[in-house]
Chain A
């Protein structure tokens, strides 16, 4: 990092994280491609999903053999859960794997949009917080829900930029900015970024971090895109800290208006 580009530590639930970019492990063409993309992203927090072991096939779809637990912090999700009870069950199964007490809590409310069921999300958050979990709650870009999640004990709130896997970028920068202004816990935008400019604009809103998966896995060159995202997250963060110039409706010359030739 260049001189003057210092930043405050990124801390969730007392743990200082070395990257503001978190990445998923789904949808890569091969484990090797996934490993190289995650490496290029510089991410420390890496998400995984809980699923049945496939007992009828020779191929092992387990992701752990490919991820060094000394290097990466595993964040299990509850993706695919459509009610609070299922999400709590998946979170507990993940915790029993023995890595940590963190969960990226998702309770999905609709199959087409994968938008969260925020009422069920609040119920599951309360249950898991009471059970000792560090809950990172995936939610929509609604301030009131974000405030409720913080009140319920979420360690971080994760509003979406746009629907999961859509690559539409940040649809409502105002909402994201407002959530960040109002919450005390870290705000991590999760889902919807499609390319580096999306990540940069997201970070310029002042949020603490971004989690992405499909933007990397579905790029033509996931490793290169991971590198681009790493730079974009840094650039957006630094631009936020730098404080952008005011927007104007009229031009203001950059060069002196005096000293012109007669």
Chain B
């Protein structure tokens, strides 16, 4: 993972297409909790890799520029 110091207290991953500032050292699990999203109800893709084992979310530390996609099932044909 690429290290890019932007601010001493925050990093800026791109979450579902939008930049979001989170505290340095935050994991994807932290991000989900901050967004009030239940990890069990979604699938997360981190830098184009699907996190198939949700237990890893709490150890995946975010960096500025990381791409995070949080998806779920919606109505469709």
Q: How far is the CB of A92 from chain B (nearest CB, A)?
A: 6
Which A59-84 residues have C-beta < 8 A from chain B? 61-64, 74, 76-77, 79
**Given the complex, which residues of A lie within 8 Å of B77, measured CB to CB?**
24-27, 47, 49, 77, 79, 164, 191, 211-214
Task: Give every chain A residue within 8 A of B70 (Cβ-Cβ).
Answer: 52-53, 55
Complex: chain B residue closest to A65, CB-CB: B41
Is A17 positioned at the interface, with any CB of B under 8 Å from its CB? no
What is the bound-complex CA distance between A92 and B42, given in angstroms?
13
Q: Report whether over half of chain B's contact residues are helix, strand or loop; otherwise say mixed.
A: strand
Question: Which among A52, A74, A93 is the interface contact of B17 at CB below 8 angstroms?
Answer: A52
Judge whether A36 is part of the interface by a CB distance below 8 angstroms: no
Q: Any chain B CB within 8 A of the CB of A258?
A: no
* Residue B69 CB within 8 A of the other chain: yes
Q: Which of A51, A74, A93 contacts B74 (CB 8 A)?
A: A51
Chain A residues contacting B76 (CB-CB under 8 Å) are 24-26, 47-49, 77, 79, 213
Question: Inside 8 A of A211's CB, which chain B residues have their CB?
Answer: 77
Contacts between the two chains (Cβ within 8 Å), count: 91
Per-position 1/0 for B3-38, Cβ under 8 A of A: 000000000000111100000000000000001010
Interface status of A157 (Cβ within 8 A of chain B): no
Within 8 A of B (CB), among A17-73: 24-28, 34, 47-53, 55, 61-64
Which listed residue, A76, A77, A92, touches B50 by the CB 8 Å rule? Answer: A92
Q: How far is the CA of A126 from the CA of B69 in the complex (A)?
A: 26
Nearest opposing residue in chain B for A77, CB measure: B76
Cα separation A211 to B76 with both chains bound (whole Å): 12
For residue A89, give the distance in angstroms from its CB to the closest CB of chain B.
8
Contacts of A76 in B (CB 8 A): 73
A93→B50 contact, CB < 8 A:
yes
CB distance from B74 to the nearest CB of A (A): 5
In the complex with contacts A52-B16, A92-B50, A97-B75 CB distance below 8 A: no
In the complex, which of the residues A28, A55, A214 contacts B37, with contact meaning CB atoms closer than 8 Å?
A55
Can you report 29 A-B residue pairs in the complex whose CB atoms are below 8 A from each other? A24-B76, A25-B74, A25-B76, A28-B75, A34-B75, A48-B74, A49-B73, A49-B74, A49-B75, A49-B77, A50-B71, A50-B73, A51-B71, A51-B72, A52-B69, A53-B42, A53-B70, A53-B71, A55-B18, A79-B76, A79-B77, A92-B50, A93-B69, A94-B43, A94-B73, A96-B43, A96-B50, A211-B77, A213-B77
